[in-house]
Structure 1
Amino acid sequence: MTQPFRSGSIYESILLRGVSLRLLEDRIETHCPDRMYALSSAVHPGGFSYAEKIINWKVPLTYQCDDPAQDIVRLCGQWGCNHQHTIGLITAAKLSHASITELEGDRFKLLCCTTVGTRNAARAGLARNTFSAYKPGTINTIILIDGQMTEAAMVNAIITATEAKTAALQQLGIIERANGQPATGTTTDAIVIGVTQHAHWNAVHAYAGAATTIGCAIGEAVYKTVLEATRTQQED
Structure 2
Amino acid sequence: MKTPVLDVDTQGSLLSPTSYWEAGEVIIRSLPRAISMQGDRGFRSISSCIYGGGLQTTQYIGNFQVERSYRSMEPEKDLQDRFKEVGVPEEKMPLAAGFLTAASVLDAGWEVRTGEQWELLTCVSVGTANSVRIPMAASDDLNRSYSPGTINIITLIAGVVRPEALVGGVITATEAKTAALYDLNIRVSDGRHATGTSTDAILLGSTQRALVRHRSLDDEKPMNEIQYAGLATTFGQALGSAVYNAVLHAGTRYLRR
Paired residues for 1:34-183 under 5 Å: 34-81=41-88, 82-127=92-137, 128-176=140-188, 178-183=189-194
Report how far residue 101 of structure 1 moved: 0.9
Does 2:235 align with 1:214? yes
Aligned equivalent of 2:250, options 208, 217, 229: 229
SS of equivalent to 2:71? coil
Q: How many residues align?
A: 233
Match of 2:26 in 1: 19
8 Å Cα contact 2:32/2:105 also seen in 1: no
What TM-score does the superposition give when structure 2 sets the normalisation length?
0.84
After TM superposition, the structure 1 stretch with the greater mean CA deviation from structure 2, 80-89 or 156-165, is 80-89
Amino acid at match of 1:73: Q
What TM-score does the superposition give when structure 1 sets the normalisation length?
0.92
Report how far residue 139 of structure 1 moved: 0.7
Aligned equivalent of 1:192, options 203, 206, 212: 203
Q: Which has the larger radius of gyration?
A: 2
8 Å Cα contact 2:165/2:228 also seen in 1: yes
Instruction: Measure, in 1, the Cα distance between the counterparts of 2:136 and 2:12.
Output: 33
Report how far residue 133 of structure 1 moved: 1.3
Report how far residue 17 of structure 1 moved: 4.7
- CA offsets 1:138-172 (integer angstroms, 9 cap, x no match): 11111010111121110110000000000011011
After TM superposition, the structure 1 stretch with the greater mean CA deviation from structure 2, 61-70 or 223-232, is 61-70
8 Å Cα contact 1:4/1:10 also seen in 2: no
Instruction: Measure, in 2, the Cα distance between the counterparts of 1:95 and 1:194.
Output: 20
After TM superposition, the structure 1 stretch with the greater mean CA deviation from structure 2, 204-213 or 217-226, is 204-213
Amino acid at match of 1:109: E
- The unaligned stretches of length 5 or more in structure 2 are 1-9, 211-220
SS of equivalent to 1:61? coil
Amino-acid identity (%): 36
Report how far residue 8 of structure 1 moved: 4.5
